[in-house]
């Protein structure tokens, strides 16, 4: 009886072990099958725990869309080489990532950012590993 | 209230907290650990009162040994919780799970108040004739259920499922979360 109970507890813990190491699971909010690749100007940076948000204004023909890109914590971003001052409003960036499950973009589009590329070609990983996000090779620490 | 949350979010220390590299994660971890201490010890006190387990220890003995730890856990948990709210006031205030959690805490608090008032008066009597009133047993189980729900809803705050940024959402949800939404954007979308 005690063994069976232990086994059940183990199974439950095992089932949740994937979500324990992350703040919130990638799959709860984002769509791994909806990769995005956008280029635009930074309009606002929310340098906040537990996730920073970079707002990017994307202009395609005459249509302007604001994208809210979720990044890691300020701590992980700084470790990756991204500071509050390196993505000041007005900076032109290219972002690759994955769109949220809801895709109506009301009032803004939401996405999980994987990496940012600056006009000089510098590429910085901006996501968090181990959140269940697709392993697409953009995280240099990923094994 | 929303104005107050916006004002809080602009204060110097709130910005320092949510921009911090180490302090925020430290507070967050301390919050979780103190929840473990609080709930872990509460489990002993409440389970003893159901009269099903730990019967070799009298109720007053159990309380004397364990309750100080529960109170300590509660204090650390409350302080770190307040700091976490202070770091991100607007988003927390507009988060539906945060609101559910606050209501549950108030209910759990009321339960705990009456529970402890009665226990402090009668625990010695129950020690002697080992007869815990039915209502106390119910109160102990209610306490465990409520605090479990508090922890679950606290965990859910991390998810943005009903956040104001995610539209379109049903009006009643936006009203429950005090979201300010421009409904004219929704025209022509199915269901709105």
**pLDDT tens digit sequence for B6-17:** 999 999 999 999
Query: CB A49 to CB B25 under 8 A?
Result: yes
Q: DSSP labels for B1-21?
A: -HHHHHHHHHSHHHHHHHH-S
Cα distances (angstroms) measured from residue A71 to each of A66, B1, B134: 16, 29, 52
Q: Can you tell me whether residue A44 is helix, strand or coil?
A: strand
Q: DSSP labels for A79-136?
A: HHT--TTTT-TT-EEEEEEEEES--S-BSSEEEEEEEEE-TTS-EEE-S-TTSS----
Q: Provide CATH code, domain A26-125.
A: 2.40.50.140
Work out the angle at residue A58's Cα, subtended by the Cα atoms of residues A57 and A59, and round it to the nearest 5 degrees.
120
Contact of B192 with chain A, judged by CB distance below 8 Å, is answered with no
Contacts with A28 from chain B: Cβ below 8 Å: 159, 161
Which helix (H) or strand (E) element contains residue A33? strand A30-46
Q: Where are the domains of chain A?
A: 26-125
Asked whether the predicted pLDDT for residue A42 surpasses 90, the reply is yes
Contact of B168 with chain A, judged by CB distance below 8 Å, is answered with yes
- Full pLDDT tens readout for chain B, 192 residues: 889 999 999 999 999 999 999 999 999 999 999 999 999 999 999 999 988 888 888 888 899 999 999 999 999 999 999 999 999 999 999 999 999 999 999 999 999 999 899 888 888 888 887 778 888 999 999 999 999 999 999 999 988 888 888 888 888 888 888 888 888 777 777 666
Select the residue of B88, B159, B166 nearest A24 (Cβ to Cβ): B159
Contact of B180 with chain A, judged by CB distance below 8 Å, is answered with no
Contact of B83 with chain A, judged by CB distance below 8 Å, is answered with no
Query: CB A84 to CB B161 under 8 A?
Result: no
Q: A29-43, A44-58, A127-141, B139-153 — which one is most confidently predicted on average?
A: B139-153
Q: At what angle do helices B12-19 and B2-10 cross, to 10 degrees?
A: 70
Go through A101-134 and write b for each residue having 16 or more CB atoms within 10 A of its CB, e for each that does not. Answer: ebeebbeebbbbbbbbbeeeeeebbbbbbebbbb
Query: CB A100 to CB B21 under 8 A?
Result: no
Report ipTM (2 d.p.).
0.77
Instruction: Tell me the pLDDT tens digit for each residue of A88-129.
Output: 899 999 999 999 988 888 888 999 999 999 999 899 898 876
- What pLDDT score was predicted for residue A55? 95
Query: CB A84 to CB B19 under 8 A?
Result: yes
Tell me the C-alpha distance between B96 and B91, whole Å: 10
| DSSP code, position B162 | T
Query: CB B161 to CB A28 under 8 A?
Result: yes
């Amino acid at each position: 009886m005690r063994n069976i109970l232990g086994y059940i507890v183990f199974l439950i813990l095992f089932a949740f072990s994937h979500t324990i190491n992350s703040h919130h699971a990638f799959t709860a909010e984002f769509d791994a099958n909806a990769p995005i690749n956008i280029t635009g100007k930074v309009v606002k940076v929310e340098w906040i725990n537990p996730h920073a948000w970079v707002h990017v204004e994307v202009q395609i023909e005459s249509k302007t869309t604001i994208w809210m890109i979720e990044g890691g914590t300020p701590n992980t971003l700084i470790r990756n080489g991204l500071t509050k001052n390196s993505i000041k409003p007005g900076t032109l960036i290219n972002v690759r990532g994955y769109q949220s499950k809801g895709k109506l973009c009301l009032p803004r589009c939401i996405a999980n950012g994987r990496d940012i590329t600056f006009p000089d070609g510098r590429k910085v990983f901006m996501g968090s590993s181990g959140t269940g996000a697709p392993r697409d090779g953009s995280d240099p620490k990923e094994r | 209230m929303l104005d107050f949350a916006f004002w809080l979010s602009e204060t110097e220390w709130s910005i320092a907290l949510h921009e911090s590299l180490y302090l925020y994660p430290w507070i967050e971890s301390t919050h979780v650990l103190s929840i473990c201490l609080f709930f872990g010890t509460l489990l002993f006190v409440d389970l003893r009162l159901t009269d099903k387990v730990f019967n070799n220890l009298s109720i007053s003995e159990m309380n004397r040994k364990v309750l100080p730890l529960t109170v300590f856990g509660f204090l650390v948990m409350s302080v770190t919780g307040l700091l976490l709210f202070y770091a991100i006031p607007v988003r927390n205030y507009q988060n539906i799970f945060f609101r559910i959690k606050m209501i549950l805490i108030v209910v759990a608090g009321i339960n705990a108040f009456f529970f402890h008032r009665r226990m402090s008066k009668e625990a010695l009597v129950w020690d002697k004739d080992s007869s815990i009133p039915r209502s106390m047993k119910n109160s102990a189980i209610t306490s465990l259920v409520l605090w479990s729900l508090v922890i679950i809803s606290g965990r859910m705050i991390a998810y943005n499922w009903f956040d104001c940024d995610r539209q379109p959402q049903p009006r009643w949800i936006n009203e429950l979360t005090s979201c300010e939404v421009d409904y004219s954007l929704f025209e022509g979308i199915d269901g709105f």
